[in-house]
Amino acid sequence: RPTTGHANRIGWSVPVPLATMYVWAKLPEPWAGNSVKFCTSLVEATGVAVAPGAGFGKAGEGYVRFALVQEPEVLERAVERISGFLQSHQ
């Protein structure tokens, strides 16, 4: 939950998962139409990997899936890296 709160503070609306280790987040502009490009660019720039929504079918495009399977400290660092990436790609 702290991870989704941090994402929301940086302007990326990410819902709090109720009973799962996965979070689906709608991509912010200018990435909304290309989840694969976002994920590729993100991992190349930051080392943070998320799953492109397009990999889950047509309805998944425009979203990414986070797997919250690391320790909270690791997830917080990942969100900080994502924040820097988003700020540099506005």
DSSP string, 13-69: --PPPSS-SEEEEEPPTTSTT-HHHHHHHHHHHHS---EEGGGG-GGGTTEEEEE--
| pLDDT tens-digit series, residues 3-35 | 555 565 656 666 666 667 888 899 988 898 999
Residue at 87 is within a domain: no
pLDDT at residue 30, as a whole number: 87
Does 68 reside within a domain? Answer: yes
Question: Has residue 83 been placed in a domain?
Answer: no
The one-letter code for the residue type at 35 is S
**pLDDT value at position 1?**
46
Residue 27 domain-assigned?
A: yes
pLDDT, position 11:
66
Give the CATH number for residue 71.
3.90.1150.10
Q: Is residue 37 part of a domain?
A: yes
Alpha carbon distance 24, 8 (integer Å)? 13
The per-residue pLDDT for 27 is: 92
| Tokens describing residue 83 | 């924040």
Q: How confident is the model over 53-89, as pLDDT tens digits?
A: 999 999 999 999 989 889 989 988 998 999 899 889 8
Domain count, the chain: 1
The answer to whether position 72 is within a domain reads yes
Host domain of residue 49: 2-76
The pLDDT of residue 17 is 62
DSSP H or E run through 87: helix 72-88
Distance CA 24, CA 59 (A): 12
